[in-house]
Structure 1
Amino acid sequence: MREQGISSLPRNYELVYRFLNTSNPALIREFAALGPRPTQPQLDEVGLKFLPHLHQERAVDNTLESVFEEMRKMIRLFRQDRSMLEKYSDLLGQTSARMSRKGEISLDFLDDLNRVLSSATADTMEKSKAIIGQMVERASELDRLKSELEEYKRLSSTDPVTRLSNRRAFDTRLAAIYDSPETAARQALLIADIDHFKTFNDTWGHQVGDRVLSTTAAIITRTLGSETFVARIGGEEFAIVLETASVEQAQTTAERLRVTIGSTPFRDHNDGVDHGRLTISLGLCMAADASSPAHLYKRADAMLYEAKKSGRNQVRTYAPKMKRMLGLLKR
């Protein structure tokens, strides 16, 4: 994506992943036709056609405009009600003034006064009742629109395949690690990658690959607990923020996850086909061993690379003493 100048937006990650792994010839053809350094509108045109679930922006904009319109209607209703009550108040004031002039009071005057006040009061109450009813309708519509926006917000931070948090939500959670020295001191970042996933995907097909991703996500969540933050950050890669007191505890957790996934058979319950077993490689870094979110991610990712390079299906942990060695590897 960097080579092609494609922005690191969640929908772009998913589009590029689908292009690289899908068996859909139309998607492959149209994405390839964009050529080098495609613009965001060009990417969105292809994405909207093949991955419509990723393009909530237009729906959000429409919903927001509906919210603004409902608010404008509410303001007009309030102004209408205020104007009506002001007119009624003026009438009462004029009536009171006339009644203070005793010389004008007669039976005909009182009859006329009673008729005017009764009519004005009934009319005001009826109009107020109608306005209140409209206000209730507007409030109900605003509640519905608020629910829509909350759902769009949830979808914007959720990976559609695994139902885990997506890259956007991960970036936010990663930054929060360094909100204070106390939070950084007890957290760690674990990056996991399914070994040889592209080969598996090419062998069994994209749909089976998606089921593997969702099953892996379920195993991670079940193994680590629903309170642990887990995100799919692209392709077959997952990021996990661990709440842990020590590097030993974090390593134990990572190893338990590796063993659990490696011992789980991936069988298609629909046709009974056994797709074999998968393994994962993991890179671990304690937040205290990095100075920023980007630094933490870089070190955990470097450890993942080391795990892959060393044969896969293992956990590699960053330690301060490895800093010099990593520097030498880059030369």
Structure 2
Amino acid sequence: MKTSDPIDVASHCARAALGMMERHKVPPTPENFAIWYAFVAGRNPALSDAINAILSGGGKFTTKVNEELYERFAVFGQDKAELREVGLRVEEAVGKVLEYLSNAGQGTASYGAALETFSGRLSGGPAPDHLSEAVGAILAETKAMAEINRQLEHNLEASSTEIVRLRNELDDLKREAATDALTQLANRKMFDHSLALAIHNARDGGHPLSLLMIDIDHFKQFNDTYGHPLGDQILKLVGRSLTEIVKVKDTAARYGGEEFAVILPDTSLADAMAMAETIRSQVAAKRVTNRRTGQVLGQVTLSAGAATYVAGEDPESFVNRADEALYLAKRTGRNRVKSQEDVAVAAKTSEDL
């Protein structure tokens, strides 16, 4: 959870977070603090919904609940240990900065005491020899203070560089933890997180939200015939196509196996269908070639289903409706796009028969 809050805002959020944790008997571990700081700061709407639901329902923040909140909203997948290691190194670097500042504060206090002593000697009308001695002492203290400031500047510069480096490393780890290694799209964990956030924004803003579920046709047959390396080549091809076509505000993800998903905020069902058709046609226009032999293995086709969000439904129901449209596309010949409206028509036709 990357933050860039001014120090006064950060201090307020930190105090408020610790206060709420104490009231709800949440242990002040770094993991729990990260969650409650983000909640107080209002940084993650989906996290706010989750905690508010627990609070309004009178739930308890047990160890299991705290771990689930951290797992859902702070880290992704199996990279928790690496994220925690970098986090501890950031804490260590920040600790050094605080130590440097503390030492500088002690030096400032010593310098202030020396100035008071010098002032006292002057007020008493010091003899010339005493004045010379006092001036020498204050010059020595001034040199010492200058050296403390020089060392502080050096240490702070080094620590700031280290903190920036660690923060970038932490951002990279989080990005990798949210990315499918083969296709470079968002992974399933990131998809779940992004969909929950998109639903929250659509519900609060009253904007349309659509979802595409996409599947590679006959992928298992292709994999069994030509082997997994060529199967991976097809998955990468689809991943590249989605990256090229999908807009920045949208989220393309590898949902699992040969199935993909695209979250489309501020997009009507008609526009989602048009997007799906663009994806389908562009992938179908490409030919898969065995790079080792040069043999052309044919085209890759996709089936896709589109649905638009219905107020009040949960993410699982939303995904299921898009999946139903995808299965309809499969049943009616593949290499095509179907929508929730097509599912409704097919169901009505079936009833009439």
TM-score (norm 1): 0.75
**In the alignment, what sits opposite 1:214?**
236
**In the alignment, what sits opposite 1:166?**
187
Instruction: Name the aligned partner's letter for residue 123 of structure 2.
Output: S
For the pair shown, which has the larger CA radius of gyration, 1 or 2?
A: 1
1:262 corresponds to 2:269: no
Aligned-partner Cα distance in 2 for 1:155–1:56: 9
Q: CA deviation at 1:115?
A: 1.5
Aligned-partner Cα distance in 2 for 1:189–1:245: 9
Aligned-partner Cα distance in 2 for 1:133–1:244: 50
Instruction: Name the aligned partner's letter for residue 185 of structure 2.
Output: L
Equivalent position SS for 2:278: helix
Equivalent position SS for 1:319: helix
**In the alignment, what sits opposite 2:299?**
277
Q: Identity over aligned residues, as a percent?
A: 29
The answer as to whether partners of 1:195 and 1:313 remain within 8 angstroms in 2 is yes
The verdict on how the C-alpha distance between 1:290 and 1:107 changes in structure 2, with shifts beyond 3 A counting, is closer
Q: Deviations over 1:273-323 (max 9, x none)?
A: 222212111111112487232221111112222222333222221129829
**In the alignment, what sits opposite 1:36?**
none
Q: How many residues align?
A: 274
Using CA pairs under 8 Å that are at least 6 residues apart, name the structure with larger relative contact order, 1 or 2: 1
**In the alignment, what sits opposite 1:149?**
170
1:65 corresponds to 2:88: yes
The verdict on how the C-alpha distance between 1:183 and 1:271 changes in structure 2, with shifts beyond 3 A counting, is farther
Aligned-partner Cα distance in 2 for 1:121–1:245: 66
1:205 corresponds to 2:230: no
Equivalent position SS for 1:291: coil
**In the alignment, what sits opposite 2:317?**
295
**In the alignment, what sits opposite 2:160?**
139
Aligned-partner Cα distance in 1 for 2:237–2:100: 52
Equivalent position SS for 2:241: helix
More deviation, 267-276/119-128: 267-276
Aligned-partner Cα distance in 1 for 2:215–2:312: 21
**In the alignment, what sits opposite 1:79?**
102
The answer as to whether partners of 1:284 and 1:316 remain within 8 angstroms in 2 is yes
Instruction: Name the aligned partner's letter for residue 158 of structure 1.
Output: T
Moved over 6 A (4+): none
Aligned-partner Cα distance in 1 for 2:122–2:274: 90
Equivalent position SS for 1:84: helix
TM-score (norm 2): 0.71
**In the alignment, what sits opposite 2:129?**
108
Aligned-partner Cα distance in 1 for 2:319–2:278: 22
The verdict on how the C-alpha distance between 1:90 and 1:289 changes in structure 2, with shifts beyond 3 A counting, is closer
The verdict on how the C-alpha distance between 1:311 and 1:76 changes in structure 2, with shifts beyond 3 A counting, is same
Q: CA deviation at 1:224?
A: 4.0
Aligned-partner Cα distance in 1 for 2:312–2:297: 39
Aligned-partner Cα distance in 2 for 1:319–1:185: 19
Superposition map of 1:14-53 within 5 A: none
1:242 corresponds to 2:264: yes
The verdict on how the C-alpha distance between 1:282 and 1:78 changes in structure 2, with shifts beyond 3 A counting, is same
The verdict on how the C-alpha distance between 1:123 and 1:244 changes in structure 2, with shifts beyond 3 A counting, is closer
The verdict on how the C-alpha distance between 1:65 and 1:237 changes in structure 2, with shifts beyond 3 A counting, is same
The answer as to whether partners of 2:122 and 2:131 remain within 8 angstroms in 1 is no
Instruction: Name the aligned partner's letter for residue 204 of structure 1.
Output: Y
Instruction: Name the aligned partner's letter for residue 186 of structure 2.
Output: S
Instruction: Name the aligned partner's letter for residue 125 of structure 1.
Output: A
1:94 corresponds to 2:113: no
The answer as to whether partners of 1:184 and 1:287 remain within 8 angstroms in 2 is no
